[in-house]
Amino acid sequence: MAGIEIQLTDKSRINDPNWNELGFGRYFSDHMFITRYTKGEWDNGEILPYGPLLIEPGMCTLHYGQTIFEGLKAFRDVRGGANLFRPIMNARRLNNSADRLCIPRYDELKLIDSMIELIKIDKNWIPKVKGQSLYIRPVAFGSGNFLGVQASESYILCVMTSPVSSYYPEGLNPVRIMIADDYVRAVRGGLGSAKTAANYAASLLAAKKAKEKGFAQVLWLDGVSREFVDEVGAMNIMFVIDNELITPPLTQDSILAGVTRDTVLTLAKEWGMKVSERSITMNDVDNANHAGTLQEVFGTGTAAVISPVGVLNFKNEDIVVNGNKIGPVAQKMYDYITGIQCGEIEDTHNWNVHFDL
């Protein structure tokens, strides 16, 4: 692409990872894309060997968290080449997050082009095993050095990539989830609908305590009444109750608008399911369980795609979902979405951005 300066590494690290046990986000590929914002505009950007950035202790983001990120994946297409899955949604969401954090917007198509350029250079880092992929992590942050609380005047946008296996070590086995009742992740009017560091910092202690009790993650309730379900870990949450697919609406600003969430809702409607974006309380879920109509619970997100929930620990009692087994809707969604991503299932929505390697 015209404009991007490219400086290639003379020492590839491609043999460093244990390719049989990639985990999530442990290895970084050889190159990164980086662009800087100064004097009111982003520069042309460059692709450089992945490596440390020189920062000052006074850099504002370390103190005040003016930073946003994205997460998407590149997949090898079984017919050759590679696919990005719905990258325009990520580019738009990055800008929505940017607006909320007073970070300057970045041209959406240019971001996608830069990602493709970067991935082509590091094409050998896209895993060849089915189910594995190259995770792409754009991050943008204020890079000014000052201690007054205000938006930075300079910024860095960096895109790095990381070969990954599936997010949960348990794979598609259902996870045990604890309802967070001591802590909240996001409040109405807060940062919940932005992909920004503070939300994840806010989640760490609850997640740690849940892990100590043997749970994989926490389910977050709304920050006001602490009755309505918001999200599960860093995923959106879906319930199948009495054959209706239910997920909380995006209207309260406390929920991240997931790409996978949108994908699942779109497919479910096409498959003729009753689909509702509406508020749901844990009491509703508990009642459905007692009535025998709670069929499935699963999380949706780029990293795991679909993560079935086997147990919900609510008020110290376990709600066991679908006999702690993955349900048919979750399984069908997983198979279908991953099938589109790798080119095995026809992409009737034009969700993939396909490119040659």
Ligand X SMILES: *Cc1c(COP(=O)(O)O)cnc(C)c1O
* Separation of alpha carbons 25 and 125, rounded Å: 13
Quick count: other Cβ atoms within 10 Å of Cβ 149? 9
Q: Which two tokens stand for residue 249?
A: 């609406």
Closer residue to ligand X in complex, CB, 37/75: 75
Dihedral sign of CA atoms 336, 342, 346, 352 in order:
positive
Taking the complex as a whole, how short is the minimal distance between the CB of residue 297 and ligand X, in angstroms?
A: 15
- Closer CB to ligand X, 172 or 234, in the complex: 234
Residue closer to ligand X by CB (options 92, 110) is 92
Q: How far is the CB of 66 from ligand X (least distance, A)?
A: 17
Grouping H, G, I as helix, E, B as strand and the rest as coil, residue 318 is: strand
| Buried/exposed 231-259: b ≥16 CB within 10 Å, e otherwise | bbbbbbbbbbbeeebbbbebebebbbebb
Shorter beta-carbon distance to ligand X: residue 23 or 49: 23
The first and second tokens of residue 188, run together, are 């109405």
**In the block, residue with structure tokens 């109405």:** 188
CB of 193 to ligand X, least distance (A): 9
Report the C-alpha gap between 246 and 94 in whole angstroms.
26
Q: How far is the CB of 328 from ligand X (least distance, A)?
A: 21
162 vs 300, beta carbon nearer ligand X: 300
Separation CA 152–CA 144 (nearest Å): 5
What stretches of the chain show up as alpha helix (H) in DSSP? 60-64, 87-100, 108-121, 197-212, 259-270, 282-291, 328-341
Spell out a b/e string for 195-206, using b for 16 or more CB atoms within 10 Å of the CB, else e.
Answer: bbbbbeebbeeb
Nearer to ligand X, 49 or 65 (CB): 65
Nearer to ligand X, 258 or 343 (CB): 258
Residue 167 in 3-state DSSP?
Answer: coil
Select 98 or 234, whichever has its Cβ closest to ligand X.
234
CB of 308 to ligand X, least distance (A): 16
- Report phi then psi at 331, rounded to 5: -65, -45
26/162 Cα distance (integer angstroms): 7
* Min dist. Cβ of residue 4 to ligand X (A): 26
* Rounded distance between C-alpha atoms, residue 185 and residue 177, angstroms: 15
Minimum distance from CB of 28 to ligand X (Å)?
A: 19
**Which residue number, 236 or 352, has a Cβ lying nearer to ligand X?**
236
Binding site for ligand X (CB under 6 A): 71, 195, 231, 234-236, 256, 258-261, 300-302
**Beta carbon of residue 51, minimum distance to ligand X (angstroms, whole number):** 26
| Cα 314 from Cα 284, distance rounded (Å) | 12
Q: Please, what is the minimum distance in Å from the beta carbon of residue 235 to ligand X?
A: 5
For residue 133, the one-letter residue type is S
